[in-house]
């Protein structure tokens, strides 16, 4: 939520751009962003429920709070609602971003050899973490706020490029730690 609010401020060119409309649009965007995050977590839990029963028994599927059917329903409904909200917001950047997020998140978790289950490959796991947490969180929302909300032409400013570089480096570090920990286990 904090990241989305921060991204919504990146396209502002003057204090006059900070309007109630911008704040309302930021809150509207939070719901589909949360739905996409739910999707990524839900599909990962569905794919790893047998592992999570040992390593993370507190997760809803692993401990039995949700059935596999309920988990599947959440996994399917979450991205559908996010894309529908992107359409309702009349935002091609958000719709495209959500679809890409769905594909990448699925490829990371779903075990369908030889192309999927990217979490099993250190390079693909890192690419997924960087793209989902860094770039797919930043660019679709930035373009949405710059073009759709503020009505400005798309221009990648120094602040957004700096933010992108920072997010890539930050998420590369997270990916390195995650991949290293996975290999140790």
Q: How many other CB atoms are found less than 10 A from the CB of residue 138? A: 22
> What is the maximum alpha-carbon separation in the chain?
53
d(CA 118, CA 161) in angstroms, rounded, equals 27
pLDDT tens sequence across 85-129: 999 999 999 999 999 999 888 888 887 776 777 777 778 888 888
Which CATH number do you get for residue 64?
1.10.357.140
pLDDT for position 94: 95
d(CA 141, CA 7) in angstroms, rounded, equals 7
Residues whose CB is less than 8 angstroms from the CB of residue 90 and which lie 6 or more positions away in sequence, other chains included:
148
Q: Are 8 and 68 in contact (CB under 8 A)?
A: no
158-184 vs 136-143: helix crossing angle, rounded to 10 = 160
pLDDT tens sequence across 124-150: 888 888 888 888 889 999 999 999 999
Q: Are 171 and 134 in contact (CB under 8 A)?
A: yes
Range of the domain at 98: 2-184
pLDDT tens sequence across 64-77: 999 999 999 999 99
d(CA 185, CA 165) in angstroms, rounded, equals 30
């Amino acid at each position: 939520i904090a990241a989305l609010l921060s991204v919504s401020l990146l396209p502002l060119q003057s204090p006059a751009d900070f309007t109630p409309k911008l704040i309302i649009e930021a809150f509207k965007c939070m719901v589909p962003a949360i739905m996409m995050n739910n999707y990524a977590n839900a599909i990962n839990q569905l794919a790893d429920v047998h592992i999570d029963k040992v390593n993370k028994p507190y997760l809803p599927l692993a401990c039995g709070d949700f059935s596999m059917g309920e988990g599947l329903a959440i996994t399917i409904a979450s991205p559908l609602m996010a894309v529908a909200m992107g359409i309702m917001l009349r935002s091609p950047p958000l719709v495209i971003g959500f679809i890409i997020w769905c594909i990448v998140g699925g490829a990371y978790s779903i075990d369908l050899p030889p192309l999927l289950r990217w979490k099993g490959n250190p390079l693909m796991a890192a690419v997924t973490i960087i793209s989902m947490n860094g770039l797919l969180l930043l660019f679709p929302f930035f373009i949405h706020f710059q073009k759709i909300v503020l009505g400005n032409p798309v221009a990648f400013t120094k602040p957004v490029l700096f933010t992108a570089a920072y997010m890539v480096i930050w998420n590369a570090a997270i990916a390195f730690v995650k991949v290293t920990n996975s290999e140790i286990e």
